[in-house]
Amino acid sequence: MNGDKRLIVALDVHSMEKVQQLVEQLGDSVNYYKVGMELFYSVGSQVITYLRQQNKDIFLDLKLHDIPNTVGQGLASLTELGANMLNVHASGGFTMMQTAAKAVKNKAEQMNVCPPKLIAVTVLTSMNQEEWSTLGFDSDLSEQVVHLAKLAQKAGLDGVVASPQEAKQIRAACGNDFIIVTPGIRPSGAAINDQSRIATPAGALLNGANHLVIGRPITGVTDPRQAAEDILKEMRDYSHE
């Protein structure tokens, strides 16, 4: 059985031993993994090498946010690692995102490979309207998410990271070819943890998400494979409705 690539499992661990244990437990039920800051800063690029050897797709989630040239050069280096998807913070601005997109495309052309997808983080899913307001923003959080998604699309990016609650608005604003990756997915009965803007797997797909990033509800339980299979079943059931 080949895993449904709409499901991306977050490897929010800090050792190669734990990575290998999870990947072996999940087997062919999961084909797509997210490598974030905790893991990448702990073990470096060896985790990318390992996952590629296992024929897994990789979302390298480092959320670059700096001046345009620095982000462009950083992404050019990351493109060499062979991940399938990279990301930046949309709040870095239009010029930064445009520079990032060009850098990834140019590096991939030099390497004669298919460029990784480049997506932008809109507003972190841990943030709610109240916290958004403490930053001095008067705008509605969901409106800002859609605005940033449209800006990312204009800059030449392939999609965004956004909460499932804004996915429907983004899909309407940016069309069907725009990638929407949604963290904050919690199966029924799962702990919310530090997420604020959440949805169930079926709810996120219904709202237009392409990929669901799920971590602790799979990696933090006794039987990760069974948890993944249960989520995949919910996703398949939604697709057949």
Q: For residue range 80-103, list pLDDT tens digits in order.
A: 999 999 999 999 999 999 999 999
Cite the beta strand spans of 164-203 per DSSP E.
Answer: 179-182
102 is catalytic: no
Q: Report the pLDDT value the prediction gives residue 238, as an integer from 0 to 100.
A: 74
Angle, alpha carbons 4-9-12 (nearest 5°): 170
Q: What is the CATH number of domain 7-239?
A: 3.20.20.70
Q: Which one of the listed residues 5, 18, 63, 102 is annotated catalytic?
A: 63
Burial of 225 (0-12, 13-18, 19+ CB in 10 A): middle
Residue 70 contacts residue 45 (beta carbons within 8 Å): no
Contacts of 19 (CB under 8 A, 6+ apart): 11, 13, 39, 43, 47, 50, 51
Residue 26 contacts residue 219 (beta carbons within 8 Å): no
Q: For residue range 170-214, list pLDDT tens digits in order.
A: 999 999 999 999 988 877 655 555 555 567 898 899 999 999 999
Q: Would you say residue 28 has pLDDT above 50?
A: yes
Average pLDDT, the chain: 92
Q: For residue range 38-81, list pLDDT tens digits in order.
A: 999 999 999 999 999 999 999 999 999 999 999 999 999 999 99
Q: Report the pLDDT value the prediction gives residue 2, as an integer from 0 to 100.
A: 56
4-13, 67-76, 92-101, 118-127: least confidently modelled range: 118-127
Region 108-113 average pLDDT? 98
Q: Report the pLDDT value the prediction gives residue 1, as an integer from 0 to 100.
A: 43
Residue 100 contacts residue 71 (beta carbons within 8 Å): yes
Which residue, among 224, 217, 214, has the nearest Cα to 23 in the 3D structure?
224
Angle, alpha carbons 163-52-124 (nearest 5°): 15
Q: Domain residues of the chain, as ranges?
A: 7-239
Residue 234 contacts residue 192 (beta carbons within 8 Å): no
Counting every residue, how long is the chain? 241
Q: Report the pLDDT value the prediction gives residue 198, as an integer from 0 to 100.
A: 61
Residue 119: what residue type? I
Q: Would you say residue 141 has pLDDT above 50?
A: yes
pTM of the model: 0.93
